[in-house]
């Protein structure tokens, strides 16, 4: 591999990742130093109260609509300070799945719409419903496993030594940022490089294709729909949508079969890709073992919610 190719495929993407992680971390620390988390948390206040989550979870939830990196950095900072228990961290991270979904929703919707027309509304609507189900699940789990918040508490106190002046806030933020960013980069950069070469030499492609070879066991789908599932697993989501659009326009499959095939492909393809794309920066923000656990829990919840929706749609449209 020559130097220009190495830069374009590894150097530049890694530079962007480092810049994104650094910016997200700096913004998260600055917001907390200025004590703006109280204000941000109010947007998610009612749901946070129902789930018995602390104000930092509400602030992270609201921040996740704009930056998942900043939202996770906020959780990691407070977890390391002992302000969040392990259980609270896991539930708070899972709680962010809805805003994370909304970040990608516009692009997902318009790409699907271009291939599928009105059928895209059904598919995207079902995945959106699954995202709301995940939030409902976290609320129920919080009610069951977290202690009640103090009486009258909407957002609890985060930092008694809050900084109100911008100058002081920047100084405090910079000190904390320098402490954390070095450790984050020492973990993120090597892991990203390892994952790059593992991916380059075909491990993830082999794994996705190996999984795709077993989709024939999905007997409830017509044979034509298998191609949609295989394309989603062996390539990218747009490949599955293109295959679905071709079959839909040619009259080879009805909208119901198209939607079910896309949901199945979503369930089977996303976990491997999520691990490949998320673990390098998750391992920098959190400790590697904790990062792996958070990704696993997120994918289990996502898979369960989409499977539930797919089964409901299957039975409702029989």
Residue-wise pLDDT tens for the chain (318 aa)?
Answer: 567 777 777 777 778 777 877 777 777 677 766 766 555 556 677 888 889 998 888 888 888 887 787 788 889 988 988 989 999 999 999 999 988 888 778 878 887 888 888 999 999 999 999 999 999 999 999 999 998 877 654 444 444 444 456 677 777 778 777 777 777 777 777 777 776 776 677 665 665 566 555 555 555 566 667 767 776 666 566 667 777 887 777 676 788 888 998 998 888 877 777 777 788 878 888 888 999 999 999 999 999 999 999 999 999 988
Q: Is 48 in contact with 61 (CB distance < 8 Å)?
A: yes
| Inter-axis angle of helices 255-285 and 237-250, nearest 10 | 170
N residues, the chain: 318
Q: What is the pLDDT of residue 158?
A: 42
Q: How far is 75 from 60, CA to CA, in rounded Å?
A: 7
Q: What is the pLDDT of residue 131?
A: 94
- Quickly list DSSP for 11-49: IHHHHHHHHHHHHHHHHHHHHHHTTTHHHHHGGGHHHHH
Q: How far is 260 from 266, CA to CA, in rounded Å?
A: 10
Q: What is the pLDDT of residue 311?
A: 93
- Quickly list DSSP for 197-264: HHHHTTHHHHHHHHHHTTGGG-TTS-HHHHHHHHHHHHS-HHHHHHHHHHHHHHTSS-HHHHHHHHHH
pTM of model > 0.85: no
Q: What is the pLDDT of residue 39?
A: 59
Q: What is the pLDDT of residue 160?
A: 42
Q: What is the pLDDT of residue 48?
A: 85
Where are the domains positioned within the chain? Answer: 3-154+163-316
Query: Is residue 193 within a helix (H) or strand (E), and if so which, with residue range?
Result: helix 166-200
Q: Is 297 in contact with 90 (CB distance < 8 Å)?
A: yes
Q: How far is 85 from 290, CA to CA, in rounded Å?
A: 13
């Amino acid at each position: 591999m020559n130097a220009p190719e190495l830069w374009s495929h590894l150097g530049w993407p890694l530079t962007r990742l480092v810049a994104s992680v650094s910016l997200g971390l700096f913004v998260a620390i600055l917001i907390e130093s200025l004590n703006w988390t109280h204000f941000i948390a109010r947007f998610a206040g009612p749901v946070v109260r129902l789930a018995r989550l602390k104000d930092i979870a509400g602030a992270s939830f609201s921040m996740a609509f704009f930056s998942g990196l900043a939202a996770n950095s906020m959780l990691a900072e407070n977890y390391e300070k002992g302000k969040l228990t392990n259980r609270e961290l896991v539930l708070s991270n899972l709680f962010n799945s809805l805003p994370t979904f909304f970040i990608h929703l516009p692009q997902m919707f318009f790409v699907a719409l271009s291939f599928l027309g009105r059928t895209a509304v059904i598919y995207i609507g079902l995945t959106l419903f699954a995202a709301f189900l995940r939030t409902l699940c976290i609320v129920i789990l919080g009610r069951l496993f977290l202690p009640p918040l103090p009486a009258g508490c909407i957002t609890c106190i985060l930092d008694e030594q809050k900084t109100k002046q911008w100058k002081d806030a920047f100084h405090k933020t910079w000190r904390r940022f320098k402490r954390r960013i070095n450790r984050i980069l020492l973990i993120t950069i090597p892991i990203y490089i390892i994952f790059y070469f593992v991916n380059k030499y075909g491990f993830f492609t082999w794994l996705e294709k190996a999984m795709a070879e077993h989709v024939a066991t999905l007997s409830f789908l017509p044979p034509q729909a298998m191609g949609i599932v295989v394309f989603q697993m062996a390539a990218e989501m747009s490949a599955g949508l293109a295959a679905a659009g071709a079959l839909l326009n040619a009259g080879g499959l009805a909208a119901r079969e198209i939607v079910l095939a896309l949901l199945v492909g979503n369930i089977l393809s996303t976990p491997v890709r999520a691990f490949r794309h998320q673990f390098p920066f998750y391992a920098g923000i959190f400790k590697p073992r904790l990062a792996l656990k958070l990704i696993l829990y997120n994918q289990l919840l996502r898979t369960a919610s989409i499977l539930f929706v797919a089964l409901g749609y299957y039975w409702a449209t029989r």
